[in-house]
Chains A and B, each alone.
Chain A
Amino acid sequence: MKRFFLIATLLLCASRAFGTVDDAIARAMEAIGPYVKQGYIVRDDEWGGDLGVKEQKAIPHTLFRGNDYWFCTGTDVDSAKIAIHVYDSRGKLVENDSWQKGHFAAARVSAPATGTYYIIVEVTSSPQERTHWAMVYAYK
């Protein structure tokens, strides 16, 4: 029995140390949770991958004028820092609000016009070479 617990503990530690994409998704979902209370509808889908430090990923998305969006991101690495921002097709920062808290970050945009926007995710610091990230969004 002791042996079982030892193996289970080791497996748990290993999974925490290396993290998984599932953890990144869980973090992104955790970040978006509060906005559900505010009437936002969470899209049942997610985007993600892995990034090096200071590496960015742009997600092109058609946003509709009249909708208000929250884009939330999370990473599986506890001590990593991640950021998310929204730019329009001319490269202008258009978000109305944003916050960053360690391995969580979010940005809100009330689309000023219908068109293509770029949601840019960046791992700003991490002890690991590659860091898993995930993004989810909600709208109302």
Chain B
Amino acid sequence: MISTCIYNFVSTVPALRVVLLAAGLGALAGQPASADTPPRQIDLSRFPATRLEDVVVPLPSEVFNVLDKLGTPDWKGELRVPTIANRGPRPQIALLLGSVVAEGFVAVEAKDREQVKQIGRDVLELARAIGVEKTVLSRTNAILTKADASDWRGVRQELDGALTDVKNAMIELQDAQLAHLVSLGGWLRGTEVLTSIVEKSYSPDAADLLNQPDLLRYFQERLAGMPSRLRHNQLVSQVEKGLAEISPLINQKITPASVKRINEITGQVVRAISSNA
């Protein structure tokens, strides 16, 4: 399938990507372009387009980019020191890897240089445990260098890149299920932090960030489609149960009470991920 074939292309050739971006700079800007006239409204029940099989899972930095604009939460208060010593089977490592990367974003927001560097080392160790160490080595080195230089935006980009590279490497290794678990681990910890912040200073605008029902459904479908050996993993079952509890809360108006409940559920699941459940 061509979609799959091209999926990794630029990600695995970062130098080429830089060249392509540089070539694009200014090349199209300022050139006359025509505006086609798309319909203002389409009937989604008679959708004219075939759907790409997967939804696009947003990067953590897309969420944190919005959180930056919502004020100045107590990021140091949100930050946790990840425990990666209690490692179990591969599904747990994948979930843990995702949640540790999400923790990296919290550490960046808290501008905690030492914690960011430790998380960079943790990401490398977890990647090694799952057999994709080489893929993230340059990313984790860059995280350390950029943290030393307080280049927080750069660290974010490297964390995003590490997440993408790990997932793509797993897909190449025919381990797409684990790649989904990495994304899910990141989403769970990210959602726990997001709900914690929204709960402390509730506003409809901030709560609107949780309006992700299709993304949640996507994760649920991925879990449901996993082979039974994975679905019967105790931790994966717990994650699946947690998502089932979150689903009705996200599929309605998001109130302060539902924010609190989502925070409790994600908190329990993230703790289980970190404690070799």
Q: Which residues, 1 to 53 on B, are CB-close (under 8 Å) to A? A: 1-3, 5-7, 9-11, 14, 17, 20-29, 31-36, 38-44, 47-52
Binary B-proximity of A106-119 (CB < 8 A = 1, otherwise 0)? 00000001111010
Specify the chain B residue showing the minimal Cβ separation from A39: B153
A11 CB within 8 Å of chain B:
no
Q: How far is the CA of A62 from the CA of B57 in the complex (A)?
A: 7
A29 touches B59 (CB 8 A): no
Q: Which residues of A contact B20 (CB under 8 A)?
A: 25-26, 29-30, 33
A65 CB within 8 Å of chain B:
yes
B38 touches A65 (CB 8 A): no
Specify the chain A residue showing the minimal Cβ separation from B216: A62
Binary B-proximity of A5-43 (CB < 8 A = 1, otherwise 0)? 000000000000000011011100111111011000111
Contact of A90 among B36, B44, B161 (CB under 8 A): B44
A29 touches B10 (CB 8 A): yes
Q: How far is the CA of A107 from the CA of B2 in the complex (A)?
A: 23
Q: Which residues, 185 to 221 on B, are CB-close (under 8 Å) to A? A: 205, 208-215
| Among all A-B residue pairs, the 8 with the closest Cβ atoms | A33-B24, A56-B49, A99-B33, A29-B20, A34-B29, A30-B24, A66-B66, A58-B49
List the interface of chain A (C-beta within 8 A of B): 21-22, 24-26, 29-34, 36-37, 41-50, 55-67, 83, 85, 87, 89-93, 98-101, 104-105, 113-116, 118, 120, 122, 124, 132, 134, 139-140
List the interface of chain B (C-beta within 8 A of A): 1-3, 5-7, 9-11, 14, 17, 20-29, 31-36, 38-44, 47-52, 55-59, 61-63, 65-66, 69-70, 153, 157, 160-161, 164, 205, 208-215
